Amino acid sequence: MSIPYQIKSLEQYHEVYKQSIENPEKFWGDIASNFRWKKPFDQVLDWNFAEPKIEWFKGGQLNITENCLDRWAETQSDTPALIWESNDVQEANRVLTYQELLTQVCQFAQVLKNKGIQKGDRICIYMPMVPELAIAILACARIGAIHSVVFGGFSAQSIADRINDASCKLVITADGGYRGNKEIPLKNVMDEALVQCDSVQKVIVLARNNMPISMLKGRDSWWHEEVHQVIEQGITFFEAVAMDAEDPLFILYTSGSTGKPKGVVHSSAGYMVYTNYTFINVFQYQAGDIHFCTADIGWITGHSYIVYGPLSAGATSLMFEGIPTWPDAGRFWDIVDKYKVNILYTAPTAIRSLMSFGTEILRDKDLSSLKVLGTVGEPINEEAWHWYHTNIGKEKCPIVDTWWQTETGGILISNLAGITPQIPSYATLPMPGIQPILVQENGQVIEGSDASLATLPSEIVSGNLAIKFPWPSMIRTTYGDHERCRTTYFSMYKNLYFTGDGCLRDTEGNYRITGRVDDVLNVSGHRIGTAELENAINSHTGVIESAIVGYPHEIKGQGIYAYIIYHGEGIDKKNAAQDIQATVTRLIGAIAKPDKIQFVSGLPKTRSGKIMRRILRKIAEGDTENLGDISTLLDPSVVEEIVQNVE
Ligand code: WTA
C-alpha cells in the first residue's frame, strides 16, 4: 500500500501506523516528499538519544516560508491565509490572502536585512496577537533568523533573561496591546528589560494602541516607517534564504523543574513536516476549512497550529487578539458564527471558564459551521468534555484531545477527528511514527496490560510516559546548553525521551495523560516550574523560605499554593501577601501569581533537609487525614501547625 497523506479510516490508521513503525525512514521520507525543497535530502534520519543527536532529512535544503506562502500564493493567491479578529468588537477585521501575506512577509524580511540581520541571528518578538506578529515570525524564517517569541504576559525580568540567554540582536515589539478591557504596555516593559540586554542593537516598534512610549534615537524605529521605505523602493519580493534541514527555526522558552527556563530549539525541516502532517490528520483538514486556534502565539500551540501547521497546508487560520470573556462570555461563539469556523482548537481551562457562565449565552448562537473541536494543554475532565461535546459540538463534532509539549513541536498522541475513536479524558492513540512507552520510576518498561503491575482495576496500567523513537519535530537542543537537554530529557531513562508526564494505558492501547510527575505545575494550560517560582518569591526581602505545590482548581486545572516562612512576628499578612504577589508579577509575570498563600513558621523537611512536598500537596488538596508517614521528618510538629492554620 502506498501511504495516503491523510488517513481516512480506522483500518487505514492501523495500517499506516504499522508501516511507520516498521520502516520509519521510508514512511517519513515519503511524507517529506510532499514539500518544496530547494535541495532534496540524502538521508532521512540519523540519531542517538545518548548525546542526543537527532537529524532529520540530512543534506536537504528548504525554507519553511516557501512551503507556507509561495506555493499557495502560486496556486490559490486569493485564499485568505490569515483572518484577524480584533479585541475590540467595533474594530474592522483584517484578512490577508496568501499573496498579501507573502508580499508583507517579504517586505518585512527586507526591513530585517536593512537592519543588518543575517541567517542565524536571534530575534526576540514581544507582540500582541495581531497579524504583524505572524508576519514578523515568518519574516525571520524567510531570512533564516531564529525567532524567540516571548508571551506578552511575561515581565521585564523574564524577557531580559530570555534575550540574554540567546544573545538576541534585534527586538520586535509594539507600543502596547489590548486584552479585554486592559491595555498592556509592551514597549515600556521591553524598555525596562533592555536596560539589562547589551546584545540588542535595534528595536522595531509596531504602532498598535498609540499609548505614550519613549523611542530611543539610533536604536528604536517604527514598523510602519521601516516598511514604508521598503515599499518606496518598490520591493515586493525577498528570495527565501536556503536553510539546511537541521538549521534552527526558532527557540521557545519553557519552564522546567530547575530554576531557569530552557530555550527549546526546533529545526527547520522536521518541524515543518511534522506540524503539517499532524494538522492535516488530527483535525482532518479539508481545503477551504476555517481553522480557529484560540492559543496565543507566545506559546507552542500558536506557533504550530496558528502559524506553521495551517499555513503550510494552505489553510485559513483565524487569529483572535482578545480574550474569551470580553466583552462577554459569548465572544468565541460570536467569532465562530461570524467567520463560519469549521475547526475550533482551544484549552480545557477556557472551556471550564466558559462553562461557568451557563448555556443561556449560547441560545442565539448558531455554531452549525463547526465540524471538529480540539483541546490541548492539560487533561480535560469528563464534565468539561461533555459540556463541549453537547453544547458546542451539538453531539455531531468529534473532539480531538491532543497531547503534546513545547519540546515535541507537534501533537504526539490524539485521536484523528471522526476517524479513530474518541474517549472522554483520553488522548487515545499515538500518531503514526510515535512510539510511546510507559516506564516505572526505576526504568522498568510496563508491558501491555500486565495486571501484576497494574495499580488500578480493569487492567489499566499506569506509569511515566516516555517515547522510544525520534520523530521529525522533536527538540534538538536547549539553546546554548546541550548537556541540559540531555540531562532533562534523555538521562532519566536510557535511550528514551522522557516527557515528565504520568499516564495510564488501557487494554486497547489508549493513553490517558494524568499530569506532570516532576516539579512543574500546569496552571490554565501554562507550565510553571515550582523552582523558578520559589526563586522569585524568595527574592522578596521578607521571605526566608517558600515551597510551592499545585492543588486542584475548578477553572485553572491546577492552582498555585504557596507556603511561606516570613521574617518577624505579627506580620500584616495581607500586606505581605500583596508584596509577594507584586514580586512574582515583576520577576515572572502575573500568570505565576499564587492563588493561595499560607504563612508558616516551618516547612516539613526530611533529616537531610529536603522539603516533603508530598505532605504539602496533600494539605493543599484538603486531604489532611492521609498525610502518610511523617515520623521521618526533622520536626513533625510543623505539619500539625500547618494543618491547623490552613485558610
Ligand atoms: C500537558 C502544550 C493532558 C502535559 C502543547 C504536557 C496535556 C504539558 C495535554 C506541555 C493533553 C498538554 N492532556 N495533558 N491533551 N496537552 N498537556 O509545553 O502535562 O505548554 O507535558 O505544551 O501540558 O505543555 P506545553
Q: Which residue in 10, 21, 81 sits closest to 417, CA to CA?
A: 10
Q: How far apart are CA 461 and CA 437, in angstroms?
A: 11
Are 22 and 431 spatial neighbours (Cβ–Cβ below 8 Å)? no
- Judge if the beta carbon of residue 413 lies within 6 A of ligand 1: no
Tell how far the Cα of 379 is from the centroid of ligand 1, in angstroms.
8
* Structural domain boundaries in the chain: 1-63+266-512, 96-241, 520-644
Within a 10 A sphere around the Cβ of 483, how many other Cβ atoms? 11
- Judge if the beta carbon of residue 527 lies within 6 A of ligand 1: yes
**Whose alpha carbon is nearest atom 3 of ligand 1?**
379
Tell how far the Cα of 412 is from the centroid of ligand 1, in angstroms.
10
Q: Which residue in 37, 36, 108, 39 sits closest to 73, CA to CA?
A: 36
Distance of CA 191 to the CA centre of its chain: 26
- Judge if the beta carbon of residue 16 lies within 6 A of ligand 1: no
Counted residue by residue, the chain has a size of: 647
Q: How far apart are CA 323 and CA 331, in angstroms?
A: 8
CA atoms lying within 13 Å on the CB side of residue 23: 10
Does a cis peptide bond (omega within 30 degrees of 0) precede residue 636? Answer: no
Instruction: Calculate ∠ Cα 272-269-492, nearest 5°.
Output: 90
As a whole number, the mean pLDDT across the chain is: 95
Tell how far the Cα of 516 is from the centroid of ligand 1, in angstroms.
9
Q: How far apart are CA 483 and CA 393, in angstroms?
A: 45
Domain 1-63+266-512 and domain 520-644 have a common topology: no
> What single-letter DSSP state applies at residue 591?
G
Tell how far the Cα of 349 is from the centroid of ligand 1, in angstroms.
12
| Three-class DSSP labels, 32-92 | HCCCCCCECCCEEEEEECCCCEEEEEECCEECHHHHHHHHHHHHCCCCEEEEEECCCCCCC
pTM of the predicted protein model: 0.96
The CATH superfamily assigned to 1-63+266-512 is ANL, N-terminal domain (3.40.50.12780)
Exposed e or buried b per residue across 532-558, where buried means at least 16 C-beta atoms within 10 angstroms of its C-beta: bbbbbbeebeebebbbbbbbebebbbb
DSSP labels for 599-615? Answer: EES---BBTTS-B-HHH
Which residues are paired to 147 by β-bridges? 123, 250
Q: What CATH number belongs to 520-644? A: 3.30.300.30
Predicted pLDDT of residue 451 = 42
Which class for 73: exposed (0-12), middle (13-18), buried (19 or more C-beta within 10 A)? buried
- Judge if the beta carbon of residue 427 lies within 6 A of ligand 1: yes
Which residues are paired to 446 by β-bridges? 438
Which residues are paired to 204 by β-bridges? 172, 221
Atom of ligand 1 at shortest range from CA of 499: 21
Distance of CA 81 to the CA centre of its chain: 22
- Judge if the beta carbon of residue 512 lies within 6 A of ligand 1: no
Q: How far apart are CA 409 and CA 106, in angstroms?
A: 25
- Judge if the beta carbon of residue 471 lies within 6 A of ligand 1: no
Instruction: Please name the amino acid found at residue 607.
Output: R
Cell reading at 163: 534575550
Q: Which residue in 271, 264, 268 sits closest to 247, CA to CA?
A: 268
Are 504 and 461 spatial neighbours (Cβ–Cβ below 8 Å)? yes
Predicted pLDDT of residue 453 = 44
Cβ neighbors of 572 (< 8 A, separation 6 or more) are: none
- Judge if the beta carbon of residue 248 lies within 6 A of ligand 1: no
Predicted pLDDT of residue 390 = 98
**Whose alpha carbon is nearest atom 24 of ligand 1?**
405
> What single-letter DSSP state applies at residue 589?
B
Helix locations, 176-268, DSSP H = 186-194, 223-232
Residue ranges in the chain whose pLDDT is less than 70: 1, 448-458
Which residues are paired to 221 by β-bridges? 204
**Whose alpha carbon is nearest atom 1 of ligand 1?**
378
Are 364 and 395 spatial neighbours (Cβ–Cβ below 8 Å)? no
Which CATH entry fits the domain spanning 96-241: 3.40.50.980, 3.60.15.10, 3.30.365.10, 3.30.565.60? Answer: 3.40.50.980
Provide the sign of the torsion angle of the four alpha carbons 284, 290, 296, 300, taken in this order: positive
Tell how far the Cα of 526 is from the centroid of ligand 1, in angstroms.
8
Are 502 and 489 spatial neighbours (Cβ–Cβ below 8 Å)? no
Distance of CA 141 to the CA centre of its chain: 19
Predicted pLDDT of residue 1 = 56
Strands of the sheet with 220-222, listed across from one edge: 220-222, 202-206, 170-174, 122-126, 146-149, 248-254, 262-267, 477-478
